[in-house]
Amino acid sequence: MIIAFIQRAIVQGIPLLFGSTGEIITEKTGHLNLGTAGVMYVGGIAGVIGAFMYENSVETINPVLAVIIPILTSIIGSLIMGMIYSVLTVTFRANQNVTGLALTTFGVGVGNFFGGSLIKLTNSELPSITLTATSNCFKTKIPFAENLGWFGDIFLSYSFLAYVAIAIALFAAFFFNKTKAGLSLRAVGENPATADAAGINVSRYKYLATCTGSVIAGLGGLYYVMDYACGVWSNDGFGDRGWLAIALVIFAVWKPNLSIFGSILFGGLLVVHNYIPNLTMASQEIFKMTPYVVTIIVLVIVSMRRKRENLPPASLGLSYFREER
């Protein structure tokens, strides 16, 4: 049962990891994208659209294409969302909170619209789309993993996207701390005027980081549908994972490597109620609340310690305009 719990915790955690890594990259350039929930939702539905089109257009599916097409459509979907956000907040310097919230509403609306349309196309009784074939391609495991007992179950039993998520998070941590571009990117989020005076193209970094962040977050939506939900899309099934991802950013004090650990912890906290016997509905809800409580506690601790390295990027949420007086 412990093994099953850890497995579920990881599967729950990976979408959050995608979301928070993407959000950290965005926030490190000073842009608080509260639209992450919408971006992830669009990333999910865009992948579903791609998979649905492909499954319905061929007799037997090619496993490679069945993986690549949804990933591509998902990336395009979340990239568009990222572009909308960056054009509004970087170029037009719109208020980031308002833009982000609008983007969430917009993204959920788009997702439900296309989700509903696809459900209608299938003429199915159930209010959902099932893409088992594609999902199975995503969930292809390493052949010998099943012979490795608990080790294989805990470490090798997930869709390859889970490993991609961890790789991206590790790479992001490396990128921030060990590369010149990472240094410049952090400088943009801390003090854009300084970065600008140092000859760094502030807008380009903001655009690139926001769009890359959105794409990564969008993959979280795709992973949720293809691995966690076994290829079943139902409207509003994604829940509040987008917000949890943003909470996770704070929990991980803007460090992608910490967010790997954090996401699994959050995932565990989300599913732990299934593994504690004799819980009533009400006490289950209390358990589901714990990730948020943990985030608040971390926030309190971090702000009490006031270590400068753990504070949010100094210009988070502020627009930058060079000639402002």
Q: Are 259 and 249 in contact (CB under 8 A)?
A: yes
Question: Residues 253, 254, 258, 261: is their CA dihedral positive or negative?
Answer: positive
User: Nearer to other proteins by C-beta: 193 or 286?
Assistant: 193
Whole-angstrom Cα distance, residue 43 to residue 323? 37
Question: Residues 251, 253, 255, 258: is their CA dihedral positive or negative?
Answer: negative
Whole-angstrom Cα distance, residue 196 to residue 322? 8
Those residues whose C-beta lies under 8 Å from the C-beta of residue 10, and which sit 6 or more positions away, are 154, 158, 162, 264, 267
Q: Does residue 120 interact with other proteins by CB under 8 A?
A: no
Query: Considering only 15-23, 107-115, 129-137, 184-192, which stretch makes contact with other proteins by CB under 8 A?
Result: 184-192
Burial class of 134 by CB neighbour count within 10 A (0 to 12, 13 to 18, 19+): buried
Considering CB under 8 A, how many residues would be counted as binding other proteins? 26
User: Nearer to other proteins by C-beta: 24 or 215?
Assistant: 24
Q: Does residue 323 interact with other proteins by CB under 8 A?
A: yes
Q: Does residue 305 interact with other proteins by CB under 8 A?
A: no
User: Nearer to other proteins by C-beta: 90 or 217?
Assistant: 90
User: DSSP class of residue 312?
Assistant: P
Q: Does residue 300 interact with other proteins by CB under 8 A?
A: no
Interface residue with other proteins, options 7, 106, 164, 196 (CB under 8 A): 196
- R_g (Cα) of the chain, nearest Å: 20
User: Nearer to other proteins by C-beta: 37 or 209?
Assistant: 209
Question: ∠ CA 96-102-106 to the nearest 5 degrees?
Answer: 140
Q: Does residue 309 interact with other proteins by CB under 8 A?
A: yes
Interface residue with other proteins, options 122, 124, 194, 303 (CB under 8 A): 194
Whole-angstrom Cα distance, residue 274 to residue 268? 10
CB atoms closer than 10 angstroms to residue 203: 16
Query: Considering only 28-36, 113-121, 152-160, 193-201, which stretch makes contact with other proteins by CB under 8 A?
Result: 193-201
CB atoms closer than 10 angstroms to residue 61: 18
Query: Considering only 27-35, 150-158, 162-170, 309-317, which stretch makes contact with other proteins by CB under 8 A?
Result: 309-317
Q: Does residue 276 interact with other proteins by CB under 8 A?
A: no
Q: Binding string, 140-179, against other proteins, x = CB under 8 A?
A: --------------------------------------xx
Interface residue with other proteins, options 93, 113, 314, 321 (CB under 8 A): 314
Whole-angstrom Cα distance, residue 17 to residue 244? 10
Q: Does residue 28 interact with other proteins by CB under 8 A?
A: no
Those residues whose C-beta lies under 8 Å from the C-beta of residue 142, and which sit 6 or more positions away, are 156
Q: Does residue 187 interact with other proteins by CB under 8 A?
A: yes
Query: Which amino acid makes up residue 210?
Result: T
Query: Considering only 41-49, 189-197, 210-218, 281-289, which stretch makes contact with other proteins by CB under 8 A?
Result: 189-197
Q: What's the min distance (Å) between Cβ of 197 and other proteins?
A: 5
Whole-angstrom Cα distance, residue 111 to residue 44? 8
Q: Does residue 191 interact with other proteins by CB under 8 A?
A: yes
Give the interface with other proteins as residue ranges (CB under 8 A).
Answer: 178-180, 183-184, 186-187, 190-191, 193-201, 306, 308-309, 311, 314, 322-323, 325
